[in-house]
Each structure stands twice: as structure tokens, then as C-alpha cells.
């Protein structure tokens, strides 16, 4: 369990031992945290320049990169991320800070527009206190995806991290403190759902960002909407990877699809979850995937040679077994895995299911683990139809030898991003966000930094 009525508590999914325990904030303490954030905004942060903010963000990045394992190990211990992946995530979080330090001012520069005014322009002004509600699966990267643009645009940040990763949350705020950030510009908030609602409704909170499930997004979005506050929702996904028969390098396509599916033990919103393969290459591609998945090593996430660590929690393992069992009972072909792993740690076997039909559980629900679902289609039209046959619309990929054809097809896939002959990933330089039940608003790139600003139009007379 992630928290009792009084504490956040993390359990190591490999050793099953307690990693860290921290008292939750009371309603009064939560209110004090908001008031401190507001005071820091009004008295200090609003008066800083882009140059000053950039310098501080670069100092945070330097602090993390120079003390990599200090920041990486809490991920390995609290949610089972293999140590090499955890180090990579800290570096990527640092990159987000550096990117907005370098480009934030340019992204928010005033835009001059012609009108009947002597001068007319749009300027971007910070809002004040923002709240980021974050999940456990990428504790550093997803935090910095919210923090970096929000801070660079001049807002103060309250981070309500997941109850299963409290030590990660503590270390993130520690990095800001060590880098010399002013007091209370970035703070942790340890509360449950009921107090979180009070926090969102607080008059000093001016915007909310949530990365999590569609259910959590709907709840937080409804509260923010009721208060008429801007909200960014980065939610679940059931990403299609469409492999067309004219793909020139199937071996490379298989390498990338396997990486996309197993990274973070498959616990990623933008992983390739439904592998849609055109009939002429169907059986060959299944064999290529099977050969690669068989080589992946499950084990101790602190071991440098481990490619797949444990699943974050025991109940998630049970949920996935249920998804696989129901799909096999409905006619899916079990190519690899599927069996229960006995002994210490919350492990789920690398599993490949072929002959998956759109109505099966693994096709219509989000699978948050190393489960590859392979669907056969007769042609491109059927591939697009199946790709869109989901409530989600986060990302997707198209593999083909005809890039121009793929660019036309991309516009027909209802997702927030499409990769052609490459992995679906998040990148500080490019906007990320979903369609349908995968979310609302954008993070990253020039679009992400404009989520929590007042886009103010200024008209200067007299009339021309």
C-alpha cells in the first residue's frame, strides 16, 4: 500500500522491504505550503529575470548530473527501475531543465501582430502558484517535465508526488535547494485525494498539471474545471505500432518495438502496446519479436546487466495476469511468457500474445507491463481502423519503406504524436500530449511552457 491514513510508505518491489516512510501533511499544513508558495511568488520569484531563472535551472541540472546515483537509486529502490535506466532518467530530467533554461525566454517572447492599433502584441505572463500531480513510473522525468517550464515561465511549484515514491520526491526538492533556489519556490506536498481537492480549490492555486490514469485525470480535471483553472492532463495510452509489409528493415523495426515495449518493465504510457502487422510479414515479425524478447534478462534492478526489473507493486502483477488469462481464453495465441514467477519480488514475465482481436482485454485496456499484443491486418485501411479503435490517443508509430505515404497516414491516426520509422518518445524540444482519453493540453517544447501563463493581448492607441 502506498499510504496509510497518516504516512506515505514505499516498498522495494525486488526485496519487498520498506524503503522510506514519511508523514503526510495535514489539511492545515497543506494550506501553509500554498501560502508559502504564494509568498515566494509575490515577494521574490515574480521579480526574477529569465536569466536568473535559467542560471538556477542549470544549477539544478548540474547538481543531479554530478551526483547521478544519489538521485537514481531512489527510483531503483522505490519502483524497481533498473539502475542504468534510472541514471538515464536523471540525465533526461537534467536535460529538460537545461532546455528550458536555454530556450524558455525565446518561447515566451512577445509576439507582435498587425491590427488597427499603433502597436499590438501578445505577451506571456506567469500565473502564480501551480500544482503538479505526478505518478510513480518515471518519478524524475515526469516531475521535471512539469517543473522546468512552469518555473522558467515564472510560476512557483507545489509537487504532489505519488505515494509510492516519497524518497524520489524528497530528493527532487533537495536538488533545487542545493542548487540555490529561493525558499518555497519548489515544495513537496504529501497528501491523499481528499486534501488534494482542497488544494486545487484554494484561491491561490492558479493551475494544475496531472500525469496519471484517465480516471485520476477525469477527477482532477473536473475539480479544476469547476474552479475555472487551467489544467494539463497527461493520461494513459494504448499506443499502436503499425508494421507495414513494405518496411525495408524488419530487423530494426523489431529492435525498436521490443525496446519500446520493455523499457521501464513496460510501465510506460507511450510504450508500443498494440503491434499491428500487415498479413504478408505477420508470422515473420512474430518470430523476430520472440527471438528478441527471449533474450531480455529479468532480475535485480541494481544489477547493471538487468534489462527488466520488477513491476512496481504486487497488485499490478495480478492485474496483468488477469488481462493475459482473459485474452488467451478469448483466443489469443501465447507465443512467450504468461506464466507466474514464484519467489521474491514482484516480477511479470515478458509475454508475447499473437492473434489478438480488437475486443480482447489486452487490446482495449492499457497494459502497464512487458506484454506485447500482436494483431494481424490485411491492409493499411484495416491497420488505421484498428489503431483508432481505442478510447486512448497518446502516441503511435508507423513502419514503412514509403515515408511520404506514412506522413499522409499520420494525420489519420487520432493521437497526440506519431513517429515514422522510429520509437515514440518524449523530448524536451517537442510538444507531447494526447488526444481522446489520453489527455488535455501539451507538455514540453514551446507549446508546453505556454500552458501556465496568461496569454495577454495588448493594444496601444491611437488607431492608425
Position 2 scores a pLDDT of 59
Are 156 and 126 contacting, i.e. CB atoms less than 8 angstroms apart? no
Pure H helices in 81-207: 83-107, 141-152, 166-178, 193-201
Per-residue pLDDT tens digits for 239-272: 999 999 999 999 999 999 999 999 999 999 999 9
Beta bridge partners of 119: 460
According to CATH, where is 3.40.605.10 located in the chain? 7-235+439-460
Rg of the chain (C-alpha set)? 23
Domain 7-235+439-460 in CATH 3.40.605.10: yes
According to CATH, where is 3.40.309.10 located in the chain? 239-427
The stretches in the chain having pLDDT less than 70 are 1-4
By C-alpha distance, which of 411, 410, 389, 415 is closest to 399? 410
Position 365 scores a pLDDT of 84
State the CB neighbour count (10 A cutoff) for residue 385.
13
Are 431 and 445 contacting, i.e. CB atoms less than 8 angstroms apart? yes
Catalytic residues: 234, 269
Q: Per 3-state DSSP, what percentage of the chain is helix, strand, and coil (rounded to 5)?
A: 40, 20, 35
Distance CA 254, CA 285 (A): 7
Position 75 scores a pLDDT of 98
How many residues in total does the chain contain?
464
Position 231 scores a pLDDT of 98
Q: Which long-range CB contacts under 8 A does 279-285 form with residues at least 24 apart?
A: 279/245, 279/376, 279/377, 279/378, 279/379, 280/245, 281/243, 281/245, 281/247, 281/250, 282/374, 282/376, 284/250, 285/243, 285/250, 285/253, 285/254, 285/374
Per-residue pLDDT tens digits for 34-78: 999 999 999 999 999 999 999 999 999 999 999 999 999 999 999
Residues 6+ apart with CB under 8 A from 30: 189, 191, 195, 198, 199
What percentage of residues in the chain have a pLDDT greater than 90?
97
Beta bridge partners of 231: 208
How many alpha carbons fall within 13 Å on the CB side of residue 17? 4
Per-residue pLDDT tens digits for 313-352: 999 999 999 999 999 999 999 999 999 999 999 999 999 9
How would CATH label the architecture of 239-427? 3-Layer(aba) Sandwich (3.40)
Query: At residue 231, what are phi and psi to the nearest 5 degrees?
Result: -140, 140
For the chain, first and last CA: distance in Å? 66
Amino acid at each position: 500500500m502506498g499510504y496509510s491514513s497518516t504516512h506515505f510508505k514505499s516498498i522495494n518491489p525486488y526485496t519487498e522491504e520498506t524503503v522510506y516512510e514519511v508523514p503526510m501533511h495535514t489539511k492545515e499544513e497543506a494550506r501553509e505550503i500554498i501560502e508559502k508558495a504564494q509568498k515566494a511568488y509575490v515577494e521574490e520569484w515574480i521579480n526574477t529575470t529569465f536569466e536568473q531563472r535559467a542560471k538556477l535551472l542549470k544549477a539544478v541540472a548540474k547538481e543531479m548530473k554530478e551526483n547521478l546515483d544519489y538521485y537514481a537509486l531512489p527510483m531503483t529502490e522505490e519502483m524497481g527501475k533498473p539502475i542504468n535506466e534510472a541514471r538515464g532518467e536523471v540525465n533526461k530530467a537534467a536535460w529538460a531543465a537545461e532546455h528550458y533554461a536555454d530556450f524558455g525566454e525565446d518561447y515566451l517572447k512577445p509576439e507582435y501582430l498587425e491590427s488597427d492599433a499603433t502597436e499590438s502584441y501578445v505577451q506571456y505572463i506567469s500565473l502564480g502558484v501551480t500544482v503538479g500531480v505526478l505518478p510513480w513510473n518515471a518519478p524524475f522525468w515526469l516531475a521535471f517535465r512539469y517543473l522546468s517550464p512552469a518555473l522558467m515561465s515564472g510560476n512557483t511549484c507545489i509537487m504532489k508526488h505519488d505515494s509510492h515514491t516519497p524518497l524520489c520526491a524528497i530528493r527532487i526538492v533537495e536538488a533545487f535547494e542545493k542548487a540555490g533556489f529561493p525558499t518555497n519556490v519548489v515544495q513537496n506536498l504529501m497528501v491523499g485525494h481528499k486534501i488534494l481537492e482542497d488544494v486545487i480549490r484554494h484561491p491561490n492555486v492558479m493551475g494544475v498539471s496531472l500525469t496519471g490514469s484517465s480516471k485520476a485525470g477525469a477527477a482532477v480535471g473536473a475539480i479544476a474545471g469547476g474552479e475555472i483553472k487551467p489544467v494539463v492532463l497527461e493520461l494513459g495510452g494504448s499506443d499502436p505500432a503499425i508494421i507495414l509489409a513494405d518496411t525495408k528493415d524488419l530487423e530494426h523495426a523489431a529492435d525498436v518495438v521490443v525496446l519500446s515495449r520493455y523499457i521501464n518493465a513496460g510501465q510506460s504510457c507511450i510504450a508500443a502496446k498494440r503491434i499491428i502487422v500487415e498479413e504478408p510479414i505477420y508470422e515473420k515479425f512474430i518470430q523476430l519479436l520472440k527471438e528478441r524478447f527471449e533474450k531480455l534478462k529479468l532480475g535485480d534492478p541494481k544489477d547493471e546487466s538487468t534489462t527488466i526489473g520488477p513491476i512496481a507493486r504486487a497488485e499490478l502483477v495480478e492485474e496483468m495476469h488477469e488481462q493475459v488469462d482473459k485474452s488467451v481464453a478469448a483466443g489469443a495465441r501465447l507465443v512467450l511468457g504468461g506464466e507466474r514467477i514464484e519467489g521474491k519480488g514482484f516480477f511479470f514475465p515478458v509475454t508475447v500474445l499473437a492473434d489478438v482481436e480488437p475486443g480482447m482485454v489486452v487490446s482495449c485496456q492499457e497494459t502497464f507491463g512487458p506484454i506485447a499484443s500482436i494483431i494481424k491486418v490485411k491492409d493499411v485501411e484495416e491497420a488505421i481502423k484498428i489503431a483508432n479503435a481505442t478510447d486512448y490517443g497518446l502516441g503511435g508509430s508507423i513502419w514503412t519503406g514509403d515515408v511520404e505515404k506514412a506522413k499522409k497516414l499520420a494525420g489519420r491516426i487520432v493521437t497526440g504524436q506519431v513517429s515514422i520509422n522510429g520509437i515514440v518518445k518524449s523530448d524536451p524540444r517537442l510538444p507531447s500530449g494526447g488526444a481522446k482519453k489520453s489527455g488535455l493540453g501539451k507538455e514540453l517544447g514551446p507549446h508546453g511552457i505556454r500552458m501556465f501563463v496568461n496569454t495577454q493581448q495588448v493594444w496601444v492607441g491611437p488607431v492608425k
